[in-house]
Chains A and B, each alone.
Chain A
């Protein structure tokens, strides 16, 4: 039986306005959701289970507030919910975060891990290759489709186009939107999610050596030039050459 883990992270809704106050992002008013690409990772994990049998465990690193997204994952079909947390973990760098995730993944006996292409807050895309390296596993990032006949084959960007790539297990696979359609929870799923238990684990985390100094609003662009007629396209072309120097 294949042990499948899917990583999910709680992030501010991507529609939320991000307010910066005295050098810090103020997230007290935002709505929180599962990071959008993680929904595609769940879809890939569920397809894997359907193709080969097995069990899907959703794993998050975060405080008790994150139970909600684990239950959202349960409602669309994952089997087990695991959360790892220690109240002393305020701010973690990638090394600390991946070290904890890797230990839990090993502890769960996983053979394959699915995660999002990039978390909506960090935008980094570090977790898939980083966790795979720690585990000594194969990895492939930003897949847009997957099939399970004759081993696992994924579609992913390659040399400016795309390619079908065979990947051996164990592996970590990060998911882009591509052909993945996110399932809607059905009534039974929602009922199961309500009753579902989240298993909380603890781990030791190495100290972080990267720490946040300051957060700020993105630099305001100088007000642009605005024209009200199509004829100005000639003038804009000239400015792109003479003022902006970009052509």
Chain B
């Protein structure tokens, strides 16, 4: 088999934890990856050494300061040896994966959740089925977070390669974040509210718990569509964001198939709903049949006492 490569996930200018999981994914694939770190400052690559992985290449260039699909793919492709390439299944890295695959005329398989040699499994039909494919030649793979165990960090032996790259797109204006809060797509814990919250003001109860847990606040489409104060960026589901956190707390959400499509792969699901027959309970690890008005204050107090 040819080489395997991990392109490190970069978040806020540092190597993100999921990179260690990518190393384990490559080991399941039967490889020992070379790690490539896109960076402006090569010192961040010191955090990219892992047991089971090979050398670390810092691919350094000014275009890595902000994302441009073509610019990143161009620069990374130039330093990446031939072989199968693994990235995290974040929106940005999925985009990059598809670019690099197309550049090399090899296929890309996105959102992989299980690997057995060259067999790769990912959800299809919004998670209503799983599909295993076999890659008979080099392939680019994006791997979902929170599935593979993290490889152990070790000191890295870094070589630095300078790259320049043209960017095609230009950011004209940063629009205010919809809130100062963590985005649901980046969060390890999410607490979401639905139409059952009765009013957008009541989302403050969810925010307080989010503050205790360091969680993001999400919403169902019914909440987003009904209340202008709940922005689309918070929507989880088929026409919103797909999330894969360790913990998803659904409050006043019925559990429609389109909502499930965005969150059913969460590691643990808690549902709080006054209707014992709400479909969300079929997916909940812990279900509480009660109103949120009664439940959230107790939950908040209990969590605050534990943290």
B105 CB–A CB distance under 8 Å: yes
- Report the separation of the CA atoms of residues A125 and B105 in the bound assembly, to the nearest whole angstrom: 17
Q: Which residue of the partner chain, among B66, B123, B189, B258, contacts A123 with CB atoms under 8 Å?
A: B123
Q: Which of A112-154 contact B (CB under 8 A)?
A: 120-134, 137-142, 144, 153
Interface pair B298/A231, CB less than 8 Å apart = yes
| A141 nearest CB across to chain B (Å) | 5
Q: Which residues of A contact B (CB under 8 A)?
A: 12, 14-15, 17-18, 20, 25, 36-37, 93-96, 98-99, 120-134, 137-142, 144, 153, 155, 157-168, 171, 177-178, 206, 208-219, 221, 224-234, 236-241, 244, 246-247
Interface pair A247/B94, CB less than 8 Å apart = no
Q: Which of B254-290 contact A (CB under 8 A)?
A: 257-258, 261, 264, 267-270, 272, 276, 281, 283-290
**Residue of A99, A130, A168 with highest tally of chain B CB at under 10 A:** A130
Interface pair B169/A215, CB less than 8 Å apart = no
B154 CB–A CB distance under 8 Å: no
Interface pair B126/A129, CB less than 8 Å apart = no
- Report the separation of the CA atoms of residues A133 and B127 in the bound assembly, to the nearest whole angstrom: 28
Q: Which residues of B contact A (CB under 8 A)?
A: 66-67, 69-70, 73, 91, 94-103, 105-111, 119, 123-139, 168-178, 182-183, 186, 189, 213, 232-233, 238-240, 242, 246-247, 257-258, 261, 264, 267-270, 272, 276, 281, 283-291, 294-296, 298-299, 301-303, 306-307
Interface pair B302/A130, CB less than 8 Å apart = no
| A119 nearest CB across to chain B (Å) | 10
Q: Which residue of the partner chain, among B175, B302, B303, contacts A162 with CB atoms under 8 Å?
A: B175
Interface pair A161/B176, CB less than 8 Å apart = yes
Interface pair A141/B107, CB less than 8 Å apart = no
Closest A residue to B261 by beta carbon equals A14
- Report the separation of the CA atoms of residues A224 and B285 in the bound assembly, to the nearest whole angstrom: 4
Residues of A within 8 A of B239 (CB): 36-37, 177
Interface pair A124/B111, CB less than 8 Å apart = yes
Q: Which residue of the partner chain, among B172, B178, B189, contacts A164 with CB atoms under 8 Å?
A: B172
Interface pair B105/A95, CB less than 8 Å apart = yes
Residues of A within 8 A of B73 (CB): 129, 133
Residues of B within 8 A of A14 (CB): 126, 238, 257-258, 261
- Report the separation of the CA atoms of residues A229 and B289 in the bound assembly, to the nearest whole angstrom: 6
Closest A residue to B247 by beta carbon equals A246
